[in-house]
Structures are given as C-alpha cells and as structure tokens.
Amino acid sequence: MDSQHPRIEPELTARTAAPEVPVLIAPRAAPPENMTKKRSSLFMRLIKLALILLALVLLPVILLKWVPPPTTAFMLESPTRPVHYTWVPAKRIAEVARRAVVAAEDQKFRTHNGFDVEAMEKAYAHNKKSKRKRGASTISQQTAKNLFLWSGGGYFRKGLEAGITVLIENIWGKDRILEVYLNVAEFGPGIYGVEAASQAYFHKPAAQLTPIEAARLAAVLPSPRRWKVNAPGAYVQKRVSWIVGQMGYGSRGPSEEPEPPSTGPESGGLLNDVDEPVFSDTPSAPEPATPSAVLEPSGEPVPVPPAQDQATVPAATP
C-alpha cells in the first residue's frame, strides 16, 4: 500500500432510535354527581313501587286465606244496587253445590295448578271456527278476577289474573278457593254468593240445596245477568240437565256442554267463563221462586217438585 495515500476508514456512526413519545390517555370523566343521584333515586322508586304492588296483592291474598272478603271488585262495579251478599263457611254449603259448580265450570279443578291448558287449546280451536266464543277460565282464575280485577278482556288484565291465580293456588289451596268462589260468584243481577242466591231463589239456606237446585244455580254462572235461575229458558234447562248428568245423578246425558243460542233472550255470554257483553236490558230483582220445568238427563221435561219432596243430600251441620 502506498504510504503516501493512507487508507481512510469510514466512520461508523451509531444509529440512535427516535425516542418514543408516550401516549397519554385521559381518564374517563366520572358522571356528574347529580346524575348518579338520579339513577339511584329511580332505582329506589322502582323497588318501592314493586314492594307496594306486592303488598297490595300479596297481603290481601294472605289475609283472605282466613278472613271472609267484605266485598269484591265485581260487587263494587255491579250495576244493580244494593247487592245481596252473605258469607257462609264451607260447612254451611251443601256438597252438591260444590259438585255442581265444578261440573259446570271446571271439571279438572282438583288436578290442575290453576290453569287448564287443554281447555285453552280447545277454546282456541273452537273460537277459530265458531262465532260463539268459548272461554277457558278455571274456577281459580275466576275467583282471582272476581275478587281483585274488573270484567272484560285485555292482555294486561289477563296477566294480573294469572299472577293472582298462582298466588291463591299456592297460598289458599283448592278447598279455600272453592269456598271463596261459591261465596263471591254472581248468580243473578246483584246476587252474590250461593247463600244469597239460595235464599233469593229457593227461600232456604245453602246447606239445604238439592242436586237440581244446585245445578240450576251453576247453570247461569257464565251469564248470570242474562240467564235466569228462577225462570230458566230452554237453553238453561238443557244446561241443568247436562250439569246434573255430569254430577253423577241419573244418566250422564250428552258429554259436550250445550252451546248457547246465537239469538233470542238466552243469547250472549261465554261458556266456561264469566266475561260477558253488556246488554241493554235493565237487570231486575229476582222473582219469587216458582216450580218450573227442567230437563231430566233423559231429555224429557218434568216439573220441579216442591222443595220438601225433592231428594236431598244431607246438609252439613252449621
């Protein structure tokens, strides 16, 4: 190598990485204190509202397990004044009255949990093909509605009815439900309960009802402001005959519940339910009970014998 031209080594310069710039993330601003208070206040209001609603429904249900109801929602909205209502304990109601209303309104009463799903399905299928609508309310549902709610349909009312039905099924039991139902059901314009009905139509206490008398009372339950206990028309007589057969007296007769007529004085009302349209005729007080023709399970009309001659089921001791 030429000494006059020394080798020049290239300078090695170290590359230095650019300094990282830290990314600063601003902390999320806390919600204003007044907004937090509003949320807390709204939550507490909802809790209080739920507790109030629970108290308004649950406490009366618990109380009515032992205490007779002083009145009902249906009595309060009754167009007939004054209403006739006399509470009697179960031991002062003839067994045939219990059998009659179960036969007429809810034959699976002792086995369902408050709702008869099969009856609902049948009613839905029936209502799709028939102009005559059929209900599917159980005795438990009707008791819940009569006590606490109002007449008419609607999903909101049905929802409340379902909730109350669950409560009374679990708190009261079947015997208490049937006892309350027999005491608050409407058997005619302003006539509430089997005792008031028995006195008004047959001039006797409910403990002395005969099978036919009990069936006559049960026959008008779907439409008590339209169908008459003391002056049954042809359709109500058919229902009496059907109910007597379903109770086990004589031949059972037709298995299907008779359909109400679409026209005439006995038209209107829903089968197996107490919802009914409002009619223009003014409800009248019950007429004095008179012997009238009813249909025996054989289908032949026969006169109702005087009360002392009718076969009776031994009444419970008051």
Instruction: Enter the tokens of residue 305.
Output: 């014998």
Which pLDDT value is given to residue 15? 57
Which pLDDT value is given to residue 264? 61
In a domain? residue 162: yes
Which pLDDT value is given to residue 253? 60
Which pLDDT value is given to residue 278? 31
- pTM of the predicted protein model: 0.70
In a domain? residue 33: no
Contacts of 55 (CB under 8 A, 6+ apart): none
Which pLDDT value is given to residue 109? 95
> What's the domain count of the chain?
1
In a domain? residue 299: yes
In a domain? residue 71: no
In a domain? residue 192: yes
In a domain? residue 269: yes
Which pLDDT value is given to residue 30? 57
Which pLDDT value is given to residue 118? 86
Which pLDDT value is given to residue 316? 39
Among 303, 306, 295, 304, which residue's Cα sits nearest to residue 234? 295
In a domain? residue 279: yes
CATH number at residue 249: 1.10.3810.10
Q: Which domain holds residue 285?
A: 83-309
3-state secondary structure 132-152: CCECCCCHHHHHHHHHHCCCC
Averaged over successive runs of 10 residues, the pLDDT of the chain (318 residues) comes to 58 57 60 66 80 82 96 94 96 97 94 88 74 78 94 82 94 97 97 97 97 96 92 92 89 71 61 40 36 39 37 38
In a domain? residue 120: yes
